[in-house]
Amino acid sequence: MALLWEGRPVGDAQAASEHTITVLHESEAELVQAQTWRPIANAWPSFAAPPVVDFRTFASVLEERHHGIGGDAALVLLDRNTRPVHLLRLVSLLAEQHRPAVFLRRAGLQNPVAAMPGIIPMEDDTAPVVVAATLNGLASRGPEVDELRTEVRSLRRFQGGMSGEMDRLHDELQLAAAVQMESLPTKMPIVPNIDFQVLFRPCGYVSGDIYDVQRLDEHHVGFFIADAVGHGVPAALMTMIIGRSIITKRVTGDHYELVPPSDVLRNLNDAMLAHQGGSSRFATAVYGVVDCRDRTVTLASGGHPPAIRVRNGEFSTVPAGGPLLGVLECEEFEQTTFQLEQDEILIMHSDGFETAFPRVDADDYARRLPTDHYLHHFKSLAGTWANSIVWDDEAPRGGTSAGLTKAMRQLAGLLDQQAGSLHQVDDLTAMVIAPSADRSLDEMFGGIAPSRALPEGRRASRGTSESRRTA
């Protein structure tokens, strides 16, 4: 009865582990076998089958280079007669064929071959058991190395295909980003009494945020911010539906009327419900109209973070809440009307600012948690703008465009200083509306004239209303 080991006869197991060792030499084969190989063979590990040995000379291997060296591992014997040119060609051949080898040199001779991957130099007085164990180890790893090499080749081919696909996607996303940017206003409208500034930062190629500011007629400017759920291309495509569905005027014959903000959001909500297509897609938005003559603002909101009014360093939110857009039918969205004071600033923003200013010690998880740190920075923004307020007869006349620009650049700089600012958690959009001291009402449709030079000593020296009271 044959003995079995793991379901196979012992003889088969030994045959399966049998290796071929190629001995490369420049001496007589009988002498090499008797003096060098026999002690190594006698010391071969008992747990491994004795190897098959193939004795070959350097010259035969190098002359028949295209046939290869063969075997699972090689034992290279070096002596004083070994020519460096033959040795160099042999090392190159072993490297080309990924054949591991042990190089045995005469004791006391300078080592002609440095240790490198797959090549182990030894002296010929090394214990035969060490040489045998090393050769058996190199030969045993051959199948695994060949399998890994095959996998690496496959992965490289796969990587090449993926690289091409990623380049294609990169080009498409860059084109999508360019198309989205073209749909956004390139500059704010120049209108009397009011300045607009927008900070817009997608967290990827394209954004799920969208905004617009446009003159509706001689006295009114409409503005909105919308934030589609999610990020990337799906959210960006949704912003196209939002932008196309905002109707700000109703034209009848030679007459028109401005659509109230509450009706604008109701129409937008209906349009989003009509484009659901069986999937749950929703957004938040705020839409408003400002009358440039007296800075009267009318706002309506649908699930969006409330607009913030800042005056004398004090915050107040605009109560214009409403449901998310694209979820449920809603007949009426609440709207609020108020007058923007000459020393007051209005800030609207997307919810990305809640994660834009994480704690200094925040890890990747904590960076995604919302905080209210952005309110402090909005207060700093308002303070920087307030330093540009111009006063007439003890009353504020609004700030300068340069002051508002400086404040927005300050906010952008603070964002750049945050940990993880190169990989934002969410899209960021902030729109600021501020009373302007640079343009008066009589410049309406008179062309964009240069801003009037303001008297020295009447700008920041009298600052905000708060500083005026304490002067």
Largest CA distance in the chain: 117
H helix intervals, 184-333: 232-245, 261-274
CB neighbourhood size of 324 (10 A): 17
CB neighbourhood size of 207 (10 A): 28
Please give the C-alpha separations between residue 322 and each of 140, 191, 280, 354, 429, in angstroms, as whole numbers: 72, 29, 18, 20, 20
Helix H or strand E encompassing 412: helix 401-416
Q: Are strands 52-57 and 20-25 parallel, antiparallel or unpaired?
A: parallel
> Distance between CA atoms of 268 and 411, rounded to whole angstroms?
31
Q: Is residue 413 a contact partner of residue 380, using CB atoms and an 8 Å limit?
A: no
Q: Is residue 295 a contact partner of residue 339, using CB atoms and an 8 Å limit?
A: yes
> Distance between CA atoms of 138 and 94, rounded to whole angstroms?
13
Domains of the chain from N-terminus onward:
4-140 (3.40.50.2300), 189-470 (3.60.40.10)
The confidence score (pLDDT) of residue 262 equals 94
H helix intervals, 252-337: 261-274
Name the token pair of 255. Answer: 């007459």
> Distance between CA atoms of 430 and 115, rounded to whole angstroms?
62
Residues sharing a CB contact under 8 Å with residue 96, sequence separation 6 or more, in sequence order = none
User: For the chain, how far is it from start to end, CA to CA, in angstroms?
Assistant: 112
> How far from chain centre, in Å, is Cα 421?
10
The confidence score (pLDDT) of residue 74 equals 92
Helix H or strand E encompassing 104: strand 101-105
pLDDT 10s per residue in the chain (471 long)? 333 334 444 444 444 468 899 999 888 888 899 999 999 999 999 988 999 999 998 888 888 766 678 888 999 998 877 888 888 888 888 888 888 999 998 877 776 777 777 888 998 889 999 999 999 999 888 778 778 888 888 888 888 778 888 888 888 888 888 888 888 988 898 898 999 999 999 988 889 999 999 999 989 999 999 999 887 888 888 888 898 899 999 888 888 899 999 999 999 999 988 877 666 788 999 999 999 999 999 999 999 999 999 999 899 999 877 899 988 888 789 999 999 999 999 999 999 898 888 877 777 777 778 888 899 999 999 999 999 999 887 788 899 999 999 999 999 999 888 876 677 788 999 999 999 988 654 443 333 333 333 333 333 333 333 333 333
- Find the angle CA(319)-CA(321)-CA(323) to the nearest 5 degrees: 175
> Distance between CA atoms of 8 and 168, rounded to whole angstroms?
53
Name the token pair of 447. Answer: 């062309």
pTM for the structure as a whole: 0.64
